[in-house]
Chain A
Amino acid sequence: MEKWYLMTIVVLIGLTVRWTVSLNPYSGAGKPPMFGDYEAQRHWQEITFNLPVKQWYFNSSDNNLQYWGLDYPPLTAYHSLLCAYVAKFINADWIALHTSRGYESQAHKLFMRSTVLIADLLIYIPAVVLYCCCLKEISTKKKIANVLCILLYPGLILIDYGHFQNIYNSVSLGFALWGVLGVSCDWDLLGSLAFCLAINYKQMELYHSLPFFCFLLGKCFKKGLKGKGLVLLVKLACTVVASFILCWLPFFTEREQTLQVLRRLFPVDRGLFEACLKTFLFFLFCFTFLSLLPACIKLTLQPSSKGFKFTLVSCALSFFLFSFQVHEKSILLVSLPVCLVLSDIPFMSTWFLLVSTFSMLPLLLKDELLMPSVVTTMAFFIACVTFFSIFEKTSEEELQLKSFSISVRKYLPCFTFLSRIIQYLFLISVTTMVLLTLMTVTLDPPQKLPDLFSVLVCFVSCLNFLFFLVYFNIIIMWDSQNGRNQKKIS
C-alpha cells in the first residue's frame, strides 16, 4: 500500500478518536459559581476581545483576576483573541463582557471543541507526521505505526479533549515538537524559533529549555567557538531575543506591564514565606538541578540527536518530580519526549506512557472520563504491542542497557538477570495499576481517609517515575561509553 494512503488513514483515526472523546462532559459543567476550566477559556476570549491589551493582565473592574485571570504568556492571549473573533462571527453572546459568565450551550461546547481540534490539526499532528517521516533507519511501515501510536497516546487526548483543563496543550507541545524536529535536522534557527513560541505559549515548556540550551551550546562548541560556532551562537541568540520581543511587544512599553505579566505567570506569592519553607525550596531546587546536571553536561560535551531526546525526558522528569506546585498534567511534558523515543525503546516507552496516563486517574475520574480512558488506554496498548512487538524487545540490548550491565558485571559477575527483573517489575507495575483502578472505581474509601485512593495512585506513580528517572539517566550516561568503544573498534 502506498505511503500517503496509510498516513492519511492513521491521521484520520487519530482525529476520530479525539472527536469521539470530546463528546464527553467537561470539567465544571453546570457547576456555578466558578464552573471549570472550560469557563476559563471562554472568559479569556471575552477579556481579550473586549478589553485593550494593556488591561489583559491587570486587575480592574472589568477584569477580575480572581475569576480565571489570565496566567499564561501572551501567545495564549493572542490565540484566545483569534478564537474570540470567530466566536463573534458565530454568536456574539458567547463573549459579551460580563453577561456571558457561565455561558453553557450545546453550540458553544461544539465551538470550543472544534477550536481544540483545529489547533491540533494545524500544529501538533503535522509535527508528529513530519517527525516520524524524518526518523532514520526504520522502514516506512514502522514510521506510520509510530505516528499511529503517538497519536493514540491517551494522556494528551484525555486532557485536551476530555478534561478541558487548560486545553491547547497540543499547541505548546506541538511547537516544542517542531523545535525538536528543527534542531535534530540541523535547522537550528527554525527549531529555536519554534521552541521560543512554545515557551511563549505556556510557560511550563521551560521544563524543556535546559536540554535545548545545552544541545545548541554543544553544537556551537563542536563547530569551534572561534569560527562557525560563534556565528551560530550569535544567530541563535538573536533569534531567541527577536522572537521574545515579537511576542511581548505590547507588554514591553512599560516596566509595570512586563512585571505584572511575569507575576501572573510565576505566582511566587502563593504559599507562605517562612524561613524553613525557603530553605526547603532551596534544597529542592538544588536537588532538581543535581539530578539533571550530569545529563545536561554530557549533552553539551557530546551533542547528539539521540542524547538530546533522552535528556529532554530526564530533565522534564526531574522537574516534574521535584518541583514546587506541579500539576498532574505536567506529566505530558515528559510524555512527549518519551513518545519521540518510542521507536528506540518501545517496551519502556509504552510502559512509561501507560503509567503517565494512570497517574492522572484521579483527575480523569473527577470528570467522569473512566470509559474513554479505559478504551483509549487499551487501544494504545494494543497498537503498541501489535506494531512494535514490545514483549519481544526486552533483552538488554534492546533496552539499551547493555553497556551498563557490562560495566556492572565487572564488579558483580552474576548480574545477568537485568532484563528479567525489568519484566517482573513491569508485571507488578501493571497489576498494581489495574488493581488500584478497579478499587478506586468500585470501592468507597474509608471515612477517616477520604483521599486514600488518590494518594495511593500518586504514590505508586511516583515510585514508577523514580524508577524511570534512574533508567533514563543510566541510558544517557552509559551511552557515551558504548559510543567511545565503538569508535575505538572502528
Chain B
Amino acid sequence: MRGIPDMNQVGRKRALRSNGGAHNCGWYRQLVFGFGARGDSPQMSSHPHLATSEWTLDYPPFFAWFEYILSHVAKYFDQEMLNVHNLNYSSSRTLLFQRFSVIFTDILFVYAVHECCKCIGGKKVGKELTEKPKFILSVLLLWNFGLLIVDHIHFQYNGFLFGLMLLSIARLFQKRHMEGAFLFAVLLHFKHIYLYVAPAYGVYLLRSYCFTANKSDGSIRWNSFSFVRVISLGLVVFLVSALSLGPFLALNQLHQVFSRLFPFKRGLCHAYWAPNFWALYNGLDKVLSVIGLKLKFLDPNKIPKASMTSGLVQQFQHTVLPSVTPLATLICTLIAILPSIFCLWFKPQGPRGFLRCLILCALSSFMFGWHVHEKAILLAILPMSLLSVGKAGDASVFLILTTTGHYSLFPLLFTAPELPIKILLMLLFTIYSISSLKTLFRKEKPLFNWMETFYLLGLGPLEVCCEFVFPLTSWKLKYPFIPLLLTSVYCAVGITYAWFKLYVSVLIDPPVVKTKKQ
C-alpha cells in the first residue's frame, strides 16, 4: 500500500550506504558480480543473483571489465569479499582495498588536470604562484568538494572517469582531435551518463575537424569537407563500440544490457529530487495541490497517496500539473540543447566554444533529464572550472553553479559524524574559490550583484534549519521529507539561474574568431 514515505525504510536502505565501512556496499557488490560473472562466463543476464540483489551491474561493459581487473587485485587483500553469496560483506581490509583503489585510479585525474592547466592561457595578474590562473584551476579541480565527497566518502570511481573526460577536452584544446575522440568513445563505454555531452563532441568534431577551413567571416566552407577525417573518426568510434558491445552482441544479450543501462521504469526523480527543472515542477505541483485541497478544488480521494519523495524509486503521478513521460523529458532536453548546438555549428569559436557547448549540454540534460541523479551536476561543474579562470562573467556563473551544486550534494552524507566534515570541506572550497577568483578578477566589476549574494548567503540558514533546527521540531515525524524538498527546490533555483545566465552569455557573445594559443 502506498502511503506516507516510510522513512525507516529509507533510513535502512541508506544505512547500507552509511559512512565509513558500508558506503561501498553497492560498489563492491559490483566487484563481486564482475568477478563472479566474468570468472565463469560473460553472461550477465542469466546469473541468478542479479535478479535478487539490490545492487546490480548497470554500467556499460568497459566498467565491468575494470571491476574485473580490480577483483583480481582484490583477492590479495581479502578473498571473502569476492564470494557472490557474501552480500553486505564488509571488513577493514575490504575497506582499505576499496579506498586505495579509488586513490590509485585518481592518478589519471591528476594527469588530466595537469594537461588542462597547460592548455589555459590566462592573464598575468601577479607574480605570485597562488595568483596564477593555472594554480587556481588546479586547486579548484583537485580539491573539488563534490568529487571528494562522491568519490572518497560516498565511494565511487568518478575521479578516474572525469580524468578521462578532462583529458579528452585537453586533447581537443591541443588540436589532437583523434585522441580526444578516442578517449571520449572509451569514456562513453565506461559510463553512459556521458551521453549527455555527446552532441557537443559530435557537432564540434564534425564542424571544426571534418571541415578543415572556414570562410573569412567564420561561416562554413562546404568544399573543405574531408572524407578521410570523417571516416577515421567513424572507424575509431566503431572499433571502440565493437570492443565493448561485441561480446554481448555475439551472445544475444544486447537487449538485456540496454535495459540495465537505461532503466526507464524508474521514476521521474530520484528519491531525493535532483535540483533541476523537474524539482521546481514537482514543487509547484505540490504547492498547487495543497492550495487546491485547502480551497476545496480537489477531491482528496482522487489524489494518489504516494509522496514523490518516497525512498523507493517508483513511478508516480502528478496531482495538478500534467504528468511527465520519458519522451517529454527527451523532447525538452533536445529543445534545450538545440540553441547551443546551433551556436557551435554556426559560430564556431574553437575549443573554447566547444567547452561552452559541452557545459550547456551537460546542464540542459541535467535540467530536463529523466531520473537524474544529483551527482550529475559534477558533469557541468568540472569543465566549468576551466572557463572560470578565463573571464569574470564565467567566474561568476561558475561560483553560483558550484556553490549551489555542491550544497545539493549534502543529502548524500546524512550521518551525524559526517556532518562536520561536509560543512568544513564545503566552507573550505567555497571560501577558497570565491576569494581566489575575486582576487584574480579584482580589476573588473564585482562578481556578484546583491541578489546573488543574498541567495548564496541564504544557504547558511537553510543548512542550519534543515540539519539542526528541523530534527528538533515536531514536524520531523509528520513531514520528514521537508528538508530534502527545501534543499532541492532552493538549489534548483540557483542552478536554473546559472544555466540561464550561461546560455545568455553564449548566445549574446559576438562571434570572435580567435586562434587559441597554448
Contact = CB atoms under 8 A, between A and B. Distances in A.
Contact of A1 (B20, B420, B425, B436): B436
Given A1-B131, A23-B20, A16 B424 contact: yes
Nearest to A8: B431
Interface string B422-433: 001101100110
B434 to A, nearest CB: 8
Given A12-B428, A16-B425, A5 B420 contact: no
B437 to A, nearest CB: 11
Contacts, number: 40
A427 interface: no
Interface in B398-447: 416-417, 420-421, 424-425, 427-428, 431-432, 435-436, 439
B130 interface: yes
A5 B131 contact: no
A5 B421 contact: no
Contact of B427 (A1, A2, A6, A12): A12
A15 B424 contact: yes
Contacts of B431: 5, 8-9, 12
A15 B439 CA distance: 25
A13 B432 CA distance: 11
A310 to B, nearest CB: 33
A411 B18 CA distance: 69
Interface string A10-30: 001101100110010000000
B124 to A, nearest CB: 16
Contact of A16 (B421, B432, B435): B421
A30 to B, nearest CB: 15
Nearest to B432: A9
Nearest to A19: B420
A107 B415 CA distance: 11
A20 B428 contact: no
Interface SS, A side: helix
B130 A1 contact: yes
A20 B418 CA distance: 9
A139 B131 CA distance: 17
A1 to B, nearest CB: 5
B420 A12 contact: no
A110 interface: yes
B130 A9 contact: no
A5 B416 contact: no
A1 B416 contact: no
Given A19-B420, A107-B416, A5 B428 contact: no
A8 B420 CA distance: 16
A117 interface: yes
A20 B421 contact: yes
A304 to B, nearest CB: 34
Contact of A9 (B421, B428, B439): B428
A1 B132 CA distance: 11
Contacts of B435: 1-2, 5-6
Contacts of B421: 16, 19-20, 23
A128 B459 CA distance: 30
A19 B124 CA distance: 38
Query: Which of B417, B427, B439 is the most central at the interface, judged by chain A CB atoms within 10 Å of its CB?
Result: B417
A6 B431 CA distance: 9
Query: Which of B421, B424, B427 is the most central at the interface, judged by chain A CB atoms within 10 Å of its CB?
Result: B424
Contacts of A107: 416
A114 B425 CA distance: 17
B424 A19 contact: yes
B416 A110 contact: yes
Contacts of B420: 15, 19, 114, 117
Nearest to A113: B417
A110 B425 CA distance: 18
A5 B430 CA distance: 11
A474 B426 CA distance: 47
Interface string A202-235: 0000000000000000000000000000000000
A8 B131 CA distance: 18
Contacts of A117: 420
A279 B224 CA distance: 101
Nearest to B416: A110
Interface of B: 20, 130-131, 416-417, 420-421, 424-425, 427-428, 431-432, 435-436, 439
11 contacts: A1-B131, A2-B439, A5-B431, A8-B431, A9-B432, A12-B427, A12-B428, A12-B431, A13-B428, A15-B420, A23-B417
Given A1-B436, A2-B439, A13-B428, 17 more contacts: A1-B130, A9-B428, A9-B432, A12-B427, A12-B431, A15-B420, A15-B424, A16-B421, A16-B425, A16-B428, A19-B421, A19-B424, A20-B421, A23-B20, A106-B416, A110-B416, A117-B420
